[in-house]
Amino acid sequence: MSESAGYTREQLKNLKEAYASGVLEFRFGSEKTVYRSGKEMLEAIRIIERDLGVAQKPRMRAVIPTFGKGL
């Protein structure tokens, strides 16, 4: 799948289901894609999410330092 293709939410849903089941071969309509690894498939999911504008933003984490006198 190339980044310039127009993706649908249905394609994204089906690709996520295939990823969750451990399948590396994905077929949507007449298009068939075989991924080399789960990592490659996950990257495709992230690209499609960005293209559709549904990418999840990373959570903000707050770190609150504490200081003591060491007593």
Strand partners, 28: 31
What residues does each domain of the chain span? 1-71
Whether 49 contacts 13, CB under 8 Å? no
Residue 10 Rama label (left phi>0; alpha psi -120 to 50; beta)? alpha
How far apart are alpha carbons 33 and 36 in whole angstroms?
10
Chain segment 26-66, per-residue pLDDT in tens: 888 888 899 999 999 999 999 999 888 886 666 777 888 88
Chain segment 11-25, per-residue pLDDT in tens: 899 999 999 999 999
* Residue 4 pLDDT > 50: no
For the stretch 53-58, contacts whose Cβ atoms lie closer than 8 Å and that sit 24 or more positions apart, written own/partner, are 54/9, 54/12
